[in-house]
Structure 1
């Protein structure tokens, strides 16, 4: 019988979410400080334990931009190895519609500001983009990729142990 693998030995990628929020030809972006440098990204962040992917995307957008959004579609799932920390990242990218903005809401630590940029302006940022998934997600949106939100299931923890 093979030895079971301990939990600490199991490879675990970073699971992240991001929102493409379009307003005409402009997209909601964040300017953030990463390792002492300015970087640009969609509103994005890590999935918290016990949180659905959809809830994480809405939460991260609010925390990083002050915008309350409504998710419309899943744009895609992207896999990438971060050049920032070297770990694998699995990113769930959503399309969202802006509902309301609270300009007085404090933004997450490290976020300098939220701004609206065109795809051309975002592309011009080049290496200042947090990852290649930024343009990939916008291009998925522009190409008409739309998966129903029902493609994702969330089964809340009911206290049942899994083996």
Structure 2
């Protein structure tokens, strides 16, 4: 069996104590996650984070830093994901923009509201990324180097 980690991005967007989350269907169950998704061919990590946030929420965002790089193996299927999580700020909402298949819609939640719905998290990374953001450790975007 060939082992292939999946490269993903996620974006933590905070506005006055509320975080931009995505409510989406996963195996016919509504779950919560940051705007997140896979890196596409010929795309930078920064481009992927901006694109995924827009496709899943209808929000244009400006990335402000790198929160962390996470390695996660999903217990449900054994797939390993490397997630690069960014911090960003919402610039403009396009409420009529079509969202990706399976996306119910964007939701703004406080950390406490998210914590109260632990059974709906897509993964443990959902709260971990927010808590790392809240800890104040934010790396400059220059950490992400362009392709050579």
Q: What TM-score do the two structures reach when normalised by structure 1?
A: 0.88
Distance in 2 between the 1:50 and 1:69 partners? 21
Any idea what the Cα deviations from partners look like across 1:94-120, whole Å, max 9, x if unmatched? 000100000000110000010100000
Instruction: Show the 5 A alignment for 1:1-163.
Output: 9=2, 11-155=3-147
Q: Which has the larger radius of gyration?
A: 1
Large movers: runs of 4+ above 3 Å: none
Number of equivalent positions: 148
Distance in 1 between the 2:105 and 2:77 partners? 23
Q: CA deviation at 1:122?
A: 0.7
Partner of 2:81: helix, strand, or coil?
strand
Distance in 2 between the 1:20 and 1:66 partners? 15
Distance in 2 between the 1:36 and 1:83 partners? 18
Q: CA deviation at 1:49?
A: 1.2
Q: CA deviation at 1:86?
A: 1.6
Q: CA deviation at 1:127?
A: 2.2
Partner of 1:76: helix, strand, or coil?
strand
Name stretches of at least 5 consecutive residues in structure 1 with no aligned partner.
1-7, 157-163
Q: What TM-score do the two structures reach when normalised by structure 2?
A: 0.96
Any idea what the Cα deviations from partners look like across 1:125-150, whole Å, max 9, x if unmatched? 11210011111110011100100100
Partner of 1:130: helix, strand, or coil?
coil
